[in-house]
Amino acid sequence: ETPSIVVHSDAKLSKINDNIYGGFLEHMGRCIYGGIFDPDSPLADENGFRKDVIDALKELRIPVVRYPGGNFVATYHWEDGVGPREKRPTRRNLAWNGGESNIFGTDEFMKWCEAIGTAPYLCLNFGTGTLDEALNWLEYCNSSQNTYYANLRRQNGREQPYNVKYWALGNEVYGSWQVGQMSKEAYAVQAWQWAKALKLADPSITLILCGETGFAAWDSYVMKECIRIEAHALSRGKTKPTIDMYSIHGYTADDEHYANATGPKHIERAIQICASFIDHAHIVNNLPSTVKKPTICFDEWNVWSPLRAPGQTGAEESYTLSDALAIGIWLNTFIRQSKLVQMANLAQSVNVISPLMTSKAGISKQPTWWPLLLFSKYMRGHTIALTLRSPEYEGPTNPDWLRGTIETPFLDASATIDDEGYVNLAVVNIHDSKAFSTSIKGIALSSAEKVMVYQVAGADVQRDATASAEKALARHVKLKESSWDASNSHDFSFNPLSLT
């Protein structure tokens, strides 16, 4: 059977939210200090921001950045990080072993967001934090009134509110690793109470509930319970929902190439199951169809094995070509599921589990940089329908339940049409030795002036246990640009181990 792809360019499935190309910065390892902020470096600007990092991230066109954690946020008190620097206290960073000087805080983060042209997304402290602190932070960032925290912001040099739109109700609160871990029952009650108060203070914000994997018992319970309370409030005349988005996290990784590259396939199922929990919560609570359902915010995702690159030592993952292909499948998944996933944040943006590494001398890009760049550049607009026929991979997977639950073809694809009418097709071939000659139909190829082809490929697919991040940089994973004359044949050969 010849592999084939049929692209249905006139069948727009859903609009792609640009926010799926979001980033994430945490006070962890060398992400903030030595990553985006390095005042002693000759590469820094007058604010202490690394200019080379700003330029690189601008290239990725990141529309939104989550901050300040992650696990870090469970003991973070935002007031420590504002005002005169010499007065800011150094605290312990309980999540990642170490100290936190608080030299980089809210105002610095906002300034940095302005420098790269991105929207801030703040995560609230559900560990040692209080609702008061959360409300005060919101007032500091968003209020234009003559009130204490809005005036504190003015005193710290910022007249205009920052208008932070996205706020998360805690991070991984279910986790045994979390300071202030909660049961699902306790979390649902607290999250809704905080959400109600935050929306009273600023109804324009988007509130994001803390979910787990999308398919956990936590997810079905928290969603159903919050929607139950929501339904009650709506029945008493409230018109807008309090919870706008539901966050889930996922990291995939395996030392064996096929298990590694097929890992992100389970994410597609996680997204679908999570969306079903949302639907179910609406159905059992009898909410009318006019009430907007929460959408999915995949606010931490990447290829990461904490055993291989422990968080406590900065999680500096060393990426391979196999990882770059896995990232391609992650991104294809977000494109295919663009109706459900309205935001996704790569964890993280610099040094920590990141495609972008800094050294004293400059920056370097890991193999996973290239799929991110290609998707962010080309895969925008609308998702369009696509039919794929491909031989199937049938070996072990990680997670194991993937097999039998979702298909794992060697080819993985998604397609978009951008606002100018250009059709873009992304295809990953994870086979380690076979090229697949694939018939491509459905796009008017012969009339196309030119089909541009960008291909990520290279050597060293397998992981070398001793490899450092520097070694990964020498892995020769490259982006090759060419064009394809499709006027004679509509068969395109996808090379082994490539993203095209």
Closer residue to ligand AHR, CB minimum distance, 209 or 486: 209
Residue 108 falls in the annotated catalytic set: no
Nearest to ligand AHR of 72, 258 (CB atom): 72
Q: Which of residues 331-350 bind ligand AHR (CB under 6 A)?
A: 347-348
Choice between 160 and 176, CB closer to ligand AHR: 176
Residue 227 φ/ψ, nearest 5 degrees: -70, -30
The binding track of 282-321 with respect to ligand AHR, each residue x by CB under 6 A or -, is ------------------x----------x----------
| Window of 64-72, 189-197, 333-341, 450-458 that interacts with ligand AHR by CB under 6 A | 64-72
d(CA 238, CA 485): 58
Cβ(29)–Cβ(316) under 8 Å? yes
Q: Which of 172, 225, 268, 317 is catalytic?
A: 172
Nearer residue to ligand AHR within complex by CB, 172 or 230: 172
CB 173 within 8 A of CB 182: yes
Q: How far is the CB of 38 from ligand AHR (least distance, A)?
A: 20
Contact status, residue 357 vs residue 364, Cβ threshold 8 Å: yes
Closest CA to 298 of 315, 326, 274: 274
CB nearer to ligand AHR: give 48 or 263.
263
427 within 8 A of 456, measured Cβ to Cβ: no
Judged by CB under 6 A, the residue of 70, 211, 264, 458 near ligand AHR is 70
Q: Exactly one of 26, 108, 268, 300 is catalytic; which is it?
A: 300
Rounded Cα–Cα distance for residues 474 and 469 (Å): 9
Please state, as a whole number, how many other Cβ atoms lie within 10 Å of the Cβ of residue 453. 13
Q: Contacts by 87-92 with C-beta closer than 8 Å and gap 24+?
A: none
Q: ω into residue 39 within 30 of 0, thus cis?
A: no
* Residue 356 vs residues 146, 261, 424: alpha-carbon distances, Å: 42, 20, 25
The type of residue at 129 is: G
Residue with smaller CB distance to ligand AHR, 69 or 105? 69
Q: How many residues belong to the site for ligand AHR (CB under 6 A)?
A: 11
Measured from the CB atom, the residue of 187 and 492 that comes closer to ligand AHR is 187
Q: Does 71 bind ligand AHR (CB under 6 A)?
A: yes
212 carries an active-site annotation = no
Considering only 65-73, 146-154, 331-339, 486-494, which stretch makes contact with ligand AHR by CB under 6 A?
Answer: 65-73
Question: Which H or E element spans position 169?
Answer: strand 166-169
Residue 212 in the binding site for ligand AHR (CB under 6 A): no
Q: Kindly tell me which of 71 and 136 has the beta carbon lying closer to ligand AHR.
A: 71
Indicate the burial class of 160 (C-beta count within 10 angstroms; 0-12, 13-18, 19 or more). Answer: exposed
What's the DSSP call for residue 292?
Answer: P
Kind of pairing between the strands at 245-252 and 295-303: parallel
Q: Work out whether 105 is an interface residue with ligand AHR (CB under 6 A).
A: no
Q: Prior bond to 328 cis, omega within 30?
A: no
CA nearest neighbour of 376 among 349, 409, 410:
349
Minimum distance between the CB of residue 491 and ligand AHR, rounded to whole angstroms? 42
Of residues 26 and 139, the one with the C-beta less far from ligand AHR? 26
Task: Tell me the β-bridge partners of 437.
Answer: 493
State yes or no: residue 427 binds ligand AHR (CB under 6 A): no
Q: Which residue is at the shortest CB distance from ligand AHR?
A: 70
Stretch that binds ligand AHR, among 66-74, 197-205, 231-239, 376-384 (CB under 6 A): 66-74
Residue from the set 19, 142, 171, 320 that interacts with ligand AHR by CB under 6 A: 171
Judge residue 159's burial from the number of C-beta atoms within 10 Å of its C-beta, 0-12 exposed, 13-18 middle, 19 or more buried. exposed
Length of the chain counted residue by residue: 500
Between the alpha carbon of residue 65 and those of residues 24, 52, 107, 244, the distances in Å are 5, 18, 14, 18
**By C-alpha distance, which of 348, 429, 338 is closest to 380?**
338
CB 210, min distance to ligand AHR, A:
10
Residue pair 469/357 in contact (Cβ under 8 Å)? The answer is yes
Q: Is 26 in the site for ligand AHR (CB under 6 A)?
A: yes
Q: How far apart are CA 453 and CA 69, in angstroms?
A: 37
**Whether the Cβ atoms of residue 306 and residue 371 lie closer than 8 Å to each other:** no
Residues with catalytic function: 172, 300
Using CB under 6 A, list all residues that contact ligand AHR: 26, 69-71, 171-172, 300, 311, 347-348, 353
